[in-house]
Structure 1
Amino acid sequence: MTMRHTTHGACHAQMQLLRRLAPRSILKALLIASCISAATPAAAQNDKVLARVNGVDITSADVAFATGMYANRLGDMPEDARLSAVVDELIGLRLAADAAKAANVTNDEAYKRQMAFFEAQTLRSVFVAREVAKRVDEEAVRKAYDDQIGRMPSAQESRLRHMLLSTEAEARDVIAELDAGKDFATLAGERSKDEASKASGGDLGYLTPGQTMAEIEAAAVGLEPGQYTREPVASAFGFHIVKLEDRRTRPAPSFEALSGQIRDSLEAAATQSIMADLRAAATVEKLVPDVAPPAADDGHDHGAE
């Protein structure tokens, strides 16, 4: 049982690496087949047997392992159909692997080249992952977050409500109702012509300069929290009444919100550094010209600019 657990764990780790590094599905198939080959009937006794090919069990653990590799192909398939499809795939892999071994495919140069390439891929992935882990830990991510937040300029935000009326006379009538004590949000829901905000009582949320119409922004400058404009504010859309709910300094994004992105960035930089160090320390002869790949198409015609 220990051997089964160890073998399956090693295969799982290899598959996680392969998802990021292997460029062809055939390499994935080779590893899945090799992992299934390692699961003998005796070693699989703690797993539910879902199929059997030439006396070799395909178990629920094998299926769970392979399902992650086939996730893109399986899509939103119902669970029972997903199970059936993965089992069929593993049966096919087992049959092909057995036939390949019987035909001495393991002695073919094509097989050896693919396995050597796959081994190099896996060695690189394991080595780089180990070295990156030494450089990028929680403390490094936290420090990068603190540095990033420290460089982030502070921004003032205003939380505004507004109402849009068709005429100046209508706007003055609403102002009179507000002066009489009517609730701004209630009146906005009843009277505002702005369909986008009336359902929320005219609430525009917290805005930084430049995020709303210049007329509304200018009208809010002279207000204190809780105040509304005492004169209609004209724009191309009609006449507005603006209320300032609150002013604040925009809060910094939380560590939880940014930590994943920061970690990815640090790991990418660490990977580049590790590979650059390896290359600098080695004797490398590249016998073809260095040619930069074409720039990715971003949808803009830069030549016309």
Structure 2
Amino acid sequence: MMGIRSLTFRLKVQGFVAVAMMAAMLPPLAHAQDDEVVARVNGQEITAADLAIAEEMYGPQLGQMPEDARRSVLVNALIELRIVADAAREANVTEQDAFKRQLAFFEAQTLRSVFIEQRVADAVTDEAIRAAYDGQVGSFPTVAERKLRHILVGTEDEATDIINALEAGQSFADLAQERSIDAVSKAKGGDLGFVAEGEIMPEVEEAAAELEPGQFTRSPVATAFGFHVVMLEEARNRPPPAFETVEPQIRQALASAEEQRLLAGLRAAAQVEKLVPDVTPPQADDGHDH
């Protein structure tokens, strides 16, 4: 279990010091009377509202910690924060230039974050996401696909015997379960699901193209794996992805684009004088040759 000292160190590394500096400069926040008080430090209340902010900032670092332990660790961190902040005030840290410089930096950082978050949220609405989806669905390429079953055996004679059994009325799925050597599809009655062009062995694909739904190949189909008997169950154009499955990706893409648009507009309107050379950072080594 993560101890308070370990957590405090990690949170400081991740930005906890910024909150501590803010707390050192500002008096304790006033909260609504109905806020649950979770701790008191020198008579000052730490409330559920403070805990909610801590959870938002530090929660991801706590992983799958049980809820009661999570709450306890965060409250301990807030207690230590308040204790150190009080000590910093008494030591007049708020009057030091180093404090003021760092506080100004973190204030600008927070303003940037809140400003962009609010503007992006205003632009990336549910309606905008739906409109983007509707516009993209029409541009999806049409992909023809077939729902196939197959039975794979080791010899041509075995495949011919299976074709004769099918012509006599035996079930394709039953024969696949009994005789196919494809362990993956065998348990599903030979079902290969929907496959598009290029997603299956060319010999099988070519044979399936000659079939109508419900038909099976009347001669064995030879591949490097053996001999197949192939059945076409259904042919269709692949449907576009459902809105629910791509909504998070569309939201993220729109948010990223809006943030870049916003930043570009602000920078274009600002008077900027960069006094150091522009240098392109080296590309990170991802283990691939480029």
TM-score range normalised by the length of the shorter chain: 0.7 to 0.9
2:166 to 158, 178, 188: 178
Tell me, yes or no, if structure 1 residue 218 matches structure 2 residue 209: no
- Which moved further from structure 2: 109-118 or 255-264? 255-264
- Which moved further from structure 2: 229-238 or 269-278? 269-278
Shift of 1:183: 1.4
Residue in 1 that maps onto 2:139: 151
- After superposition, what is the alpha-carbon deviation per residue over 1:57-103, rounded to whole angstroms, capped at 9, x for unaligned? 33344334322322232111122322221122111111111111111
Shift of 1:153: 1.1
Residue in 1 that maps onto 2:7: none
Residue in 2 that maps onto 1:240: 228
Moved segments of 4+, more than 6 Å: 32-36
Alpha carbons 1:36, 1:94 under 8 Å: kept: no
Shift of 1:159: 0.7
Residue in 2 that maps onto 1:116: 104
CA distance in 2, matches of 1:110, 1:285: 25
Residue in 1 that maps onto 2:88: 100
Residue in 1 that maps onto 2:37: 49
Residue in 2 that maps onto 1:196: 184
Shift of 1:23: 6.9
Give me the CA root mean square deviation.
Answer: 2.4
CA distance in 2, matches of 1:34, 1:283: 31
Alpha carbons 1:141, 1:263 under 8 Å: kept: yes
Give the aligned residue type for 1:198: K
Given the superposition, is the C-alpha separation of residues 62 and 130 from structure 1 closer, same or farther in structure 2, using an over 3 Å criterion? closer
Given the superposition, is the C-alpha separation of residues 124 and 113 from structure 1 closer, same or farther in structure 2, using an over 3 Å criterion? same
- Which moved further from structure 2: 170-179 or 24-33? 24-33
Q: Percent identity between the aligned chains?
A: 57
Shift of 1:27: 2.3
List aligned pairs for 1:235-274, cutoff 5 A: 235-274=223-262
- Which moved further from structure 2: 255-264 or 123-132? 123-132
Residue in 2 that maps onto 1:26: 17
- Which moved further from structure 2: 178-187 or 133-142? 133-142
Give the aligned residue type for 2:29: A
Residue in 1 that maps onto 2:28: 37
Shift of 1:134: 4.5
TM-score normalised to the size of structure 1?
A: 0.82
CA distance in 1, matches of 2:19, 2:197: 52
1:137 to 108, 117, 125: 125
Unaligned runs of 5+ in 2: 1-12
Residue in 2 that maps onto 1:208: 196
Alpha carbons 1:157, 1:248 under 8 Å: kept: yes
- Which moved further from structure 2: 133-142 or 119-128? 133-142
Unaligned runs of 5+ in 1: 1-21
Given the superposition, is the C-alpha separation of residues 132 and 72 from structure 1 closer, same or farther in structure 2, using an over 3 Å criterion? closer
CA distance in 2, matches of 1:129, 1:85: 28
Residue in 2 that maps onto 1:85: 73
Secondary structure of the 2:138 match is helix
2:264 to 276, 279, 283: 276
Shift of 1:207: 0.8
Given the superposition, is the C-alpha separation of residues 33 and 100 from structure 1 closer, same or farther in structure 2, using an over 3 Å criterion? closer
Alpha carbons 2:142, 2:237 under 8 Å: kept: yes
Shift of 1:122: 2.4
> Aligned pair count?
278
CA distance in 2, matches of 1:274, 1:251: 35
